[in-house]
């Protein structure tokens, strides 16, 4: 049975400082699906994430973003979050003076219900964080990048979003945290949350159900994670000319 289409990106264009970043990009995401998007550095992966989330400075020059049948192209980031779309940053923010407990309690402020203490503890346990050791710690420089990333993932679990954008979630984390990320992705999948998994890692791409290769601001091809990973390794990484028109698509 075909799953519900939750996100449709149509002819998306982005121009930053007179440079074309996204050039008519198209893709779709289904509920409960993990779509891996991989590409070389500078190809527009993070810009895509910021544009989908509507961040300041990332207003599309063209195209539309349709989420759950609603055109959200012109919505503010917080309005998109209210609709059920959220972003996990490549570099999680620090919140001086706020505890892990307080940060996570914000998890569903604008969703169906306020989050409870039991849910907070379970979310931390889901990302291999000991609640007793971390709940009253501050989200500041005393936490490692991997710890902050896992706490951010716990906060997204508590939001119970309809779709989440994970921007290079493996960046700056250790092997243990990488395993936790895979468990969180499986959790999203089981809860019917659509996931856009943006990465430059072939290992991360294997966690996806379907994969797309982005090159020079366009989706160059879509296929299985294994085929996209193989093409990326053999053709993209050694390639000095990243013009998609000069490459053949895999079948």
pLDDT digits (tens, 9 = 90+) for 166-181: 998 877 666 556 777 8
- Residue 36 sits in the same domain as residue 74: yes
Question: In sequence order, which residues have a C-beta less than 8 Å from that of residue 178 and are 6 or more positions away?
Answer: 170, 203
Tens-place pLDDT, residues 170-226? 776 665 567 778 888 999 999 999 999 999 888 899 999 999 999 889 999 999 999
Neighbours of 170 (CB within 10 A): 22
DSSP states of 203-250 = HHHTT-SEEEEEETTEEEEEE-HHHHHHHIIIIITT-S---GGGSPPP
- Per-residue confidence (pLDDT) for residue 63, from 0 to 100: 98
Residue 138's domain comprises: 94-160
The last residue of one of the domains, among 132, 160, 188, is 160
Strand partners, 19: 16
**pLDDT greater than 70 at residue 14:** yes
Domains identified in the chain, total number: 2
- Say if residues 88 and 152 touch (Cβ distance below 8 Å): yes
Q: Do 65 and 131 sit in the same domain of this protein?
A: no
* DSSP summary character for residue 72: -
Q: Strands 85-88, 210-215: parallel, antiparallel or unpaired by DSSP?
A: unpaired
């Amino acid at each position: 049975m075909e799953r519900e289409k939750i996100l449709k990106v149509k002819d998306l264009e982005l121009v930053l400082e007179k440079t074309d970043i996204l050039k008519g990009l198209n893709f779709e995401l289904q509920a409960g699906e993990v779509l891996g998007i991989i590409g070389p550095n500078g190809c527009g992966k993070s810009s895509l994430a910021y544009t989908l989330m509507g961040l300041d400075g990332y207003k599309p020059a063209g195209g539309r973003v349709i989420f759950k049948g609603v055109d959200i192209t012109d919505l503010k980031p917080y309005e998109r979050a209210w609709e059920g779309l959220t972003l996990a940053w490549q570099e999680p923010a620090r919140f001086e003076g706020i505890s892990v407990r307080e940060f996570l309690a914000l998890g569903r402020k604008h969703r169906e219900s306020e989050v409870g203490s039991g849910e907070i503890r379970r979310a931390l346990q889901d990302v291999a964080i000991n609640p007793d050791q971390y709940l009253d710690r501050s989200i500041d420089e005393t936490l490692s990048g991997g710890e902050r990333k896992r706490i951010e993932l716990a906060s997204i679990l508590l939001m119970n979003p309809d779709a989440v954008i994970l921007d290079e979630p493996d960046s700056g984390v250790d092997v243990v945290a990488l395993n936790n990320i895979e468990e969180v992705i499986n959790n999203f999948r089981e809860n019917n949350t659509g996931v856009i998994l943006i990465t430059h890692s072939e290992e991360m791409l294997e966690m996806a159900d379907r994969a797309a290769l982005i090159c020079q601001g366009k989706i160059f091809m879509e296929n299985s994670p294994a085929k996209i990973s193989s093409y990326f390794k053999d053709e993209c990484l050694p390639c000095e000319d990243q013009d998609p028109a000069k490459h053949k698509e895999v079948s």
